[in-house]
Amino acid sequence: MARSTRRKPTAESNATASTSRRVTRSQSKAMKQQEKQQPKETPVQPLPPLTAAEWKKLNPKTEHYEFGGPVGAFAMITLLPIVVLAFAFGCDSSGYDPLQRSYAFFSDLIKGKFSWDIILSLVTSWNISALFWYIMFIAQLVTFAIAMPGDTVQGTKLRDGSRLTYKLNGLQSAQTLFMVSMMANRGLGYRTPLYVHDNFAHLAVASIIIAFAVSIGVYIKSFVGKPRLLALGGNTGNTIYDFMVGRELNPRIGQFDIKFFTELRPGLLGWMVINICMGIKQYLTLGRVTNSMVMVLAFQALYVLDALYNESSILTTMDITTDGFGFMLAFGNLCWVPMMYSLQARYLTDFPVDLSIPAVIGILALQCTGFYIFRSANAQKDNFRQNPNDPAVRDLKYIETSKGSKLITSGWWGKARHINYLGDWLMSVAWCLPCGFGSVIPYFYCIYFGILLIHRERRDDDKCRKKYGKDWDKYCSIVKYRIIPGVY
């Protein structure tokens, strides 16, 4: 999920989810230089088979629940699709009022004031062409991921001592996807952009169906065949909870890693495809593209391209190394991100906004400010980790924990423990402001994202306190603020 989800950096931990994907170019360059200096790694030798007792030790029973336990998991599985459907069916050119339309429908349903025609229309709200379109889109990305060349790298060492191999070709896949799409649309005469706009609700239903199918598939797979490494947080024995958070750590079909593929490709590229289709639809309707639409498309495209350019950074995030692959990640990337994060572009297609020059300058300033805070803060942390003697970071103050980790207490990270979250959230506001103030609905993203960041910060704080104990308490006494210096 932006996410749709789009997940928890601190002065010490790696950034995850949407935040984790935005890694500095300086870090990427440093990694490449380091790789050149190091001798090539020898192929990883297969580890000897583990006994049943060893597997049981590697996969202990999960004792601690998150997300409200089974009740919270059931609520997420039930309510998240409803939210997507409400925004898909309740937002169109006649008005953006998903709450009122949903309330009216469920109110009539509870009172018995509904006709079978309405129920039938909901049951048949998906069509086979939308489902086929979405399946073919994912199949195309899977083909690119498998067939296209890319750098082969090894992930972090897992609990069983193994290291998985990954092929990085996300940026190449994106380039090929858009080249093929452009060539196809020249012959089809903009049929695809019009189809996506006119059948958005059907595509949303299709994405929900596919997300559930994938989630069910990987959950069943975690029980079938040879023993496999399970996520430490998804082995409670409670079906609903484990299904939601993910039971198996790295589900694979052969060498194809389902979680790694899903984490970046379908959600981010699907989001961009929808955005571009909305921009083309606006052009075909108005004969031009408004400056507000240009800003939304540019800001969000920058985020996606940055994530794909730094694809290797995701291999060290909690999503890959710690969290299982279940409904939460599958639904977030296959449905929530493309269908919910494209809300601003959808709105501007149905309700075009022309911004004044001062408004454009103000929004650009906000975007640049957020980007600067986010980038410079992460660059400072990354440089300190890789080369503490770098002149740019060697004067930073820090606390060295009993576990050997260094927690920065000056510079950006002395201002707040999650200062990069502030930059991230400011950018989310800049994505929404081009929509004007005709409706609060386009601002759903920055409101949801703010709540998500606070929740992440709380989860991360809890984990760090358990990990570092008194050292973390000392760190918090020095760096008092969580996200916003002087405020929170």
In this structure, the answer to whether residues 199 and 238 fall within a common structural domain is yes
Model confidence at 137, pLDDT cuts 50, 70, 90, reads: very high
Question: Which runs of E-coded beta strand occur in 6-145?
Answer: 91-92, 95-96
Same structural domain for residues 384 and 472?
Answer: yes
Residues 347 and 416 in one domain: no
User: What total of structural domains would you count in the chain?
Assistant: 2
The answer to whether residue 42 sits within a structural domain is no
Of the ranges 155-164, 242-251, 320-329, 418-427, which one carries the lowest mean pLDDT score? 155-164
Is the distance from CB of 343 to CB of 445 less than 8 angstroms? Answer: yes
Residue 362 burial by Cβ neighbours in a 10 Å radius (0-12, 13-18, 19+): middle
Which phi and psi (to 5°) does residue 421 adopt?
-65, -35
Residues 421 and 336 in one domain: no
Does some domain include residue 220? yes
Q: Binning pLDDT at 50, 70 and 90, where does residue 115 land? A: low
Q: Give the per-residue pLDDT at 332.
A: 94
343 falls within a domain: yes
- The verdict on 279 and 388 lying in the same domain is no
**Domain presence at residue 66:** yes
How far apart (Å, rounded) are the C-alpha atoms in residues 83 and 94?
Answer: 19
215 lies in some domain: yes
Res 239 pLDDT > 60: yes
Same structural domain for residues 349 and 309? yes
Query: pLDDT at position 391, please?
Result: 87
The residue that leads in pLDDT, 464 or 142, is 142
- Checking if the pLDDT of 6 tops 90, the result is no
Tens of pLDDT, residue by residue over 161-203, are 888 999 999 999 999 999 988 887 776 777 888 889 999 999 9
Residue pLDDT, tens place only, 400-444: 988 888 899 999 999 999 999 999 899 999 999 999 999 899 999
Report d(CA 335, CA 68) in Å as an integer: 22
**Shared domain check, 262 and 372:** no
For the ranges 17-21, 240-244, 310-314, which has the lowest average pLDDT?
Answer: 17-21
Last residue of a domain, one of 337, 354, 371: 354
Question: Where in the sequence is the domain holding 381, given as residue range(s)?
Answer: 1-8+355-488
Same domain? For 350 and 364 the reply is no
Residue 15 has pLDDT above 80, yes or no: no
Are 335 and 430 in a shared domain? no
Query: Which residue bears the tokens 């050292």?
Result: 471
Among 354, 375, 391, give the residue marking a domain's end: 354
Q: What is the pLDDT of residue 238?
A: 94
Last residue of a domain, one of 354, 379, 398: 354
Instruction: Assess contact for 430 and 366: CB atoms under 8 A.
Output: yes
pLDDT interval class at 270 (50, 70, 90): very high
Tell me, what's the pLDDT at 193? 84
Q: In the chain, what percentage of residues exceed pLDDT 70?
A: 84
Average per-residue pLDDT for the chain = 84
What number of other Cβ atoms are within 10 A of residue 58's Cβ?
17
**Each residue of 73-96: b (16+ CB within 10 Å) or e?**
beebbeebbebbbbbbbbbbeeeb
- Residue 334 pLDDT greater than 90, yes or no: yes
Other C-beta atoms within 10 Å of 444: how many? Answer: 19
Q: Identify whether residues 334 and 377 lie together within a single domain.
A: no
For residues 476 and 488, give the distance between their C-alpha atoms in angstroms, rounded to a whole number: 13
The verdict on 101 and 120 lying in the same domain is: yes
Q: Is residue 410 part of a domain?
A: yes
388 and 255 belong to one structural domain: no
Confidence class of residue 117 from pLDDT cuts 50, 70 and 90?
A: low
* Separation CA 429–CA 434 (nearest Å): 9
Relative to beta strand 165-168, strand 252-253 is unpaired
- Per-residue pLDDT tens for 207-233? 999 999 999 999 999 999 888 889 988
Decide if 226 is inside a domain: yes
Which residues have a Cβ under 8 Å from the Cβ of 355 and sit 6 or more positions away?
A: 290, 291, 292, 295, 363, 434, 436
Is 20 domain-assigned? no
pLDDT score for 5:
37
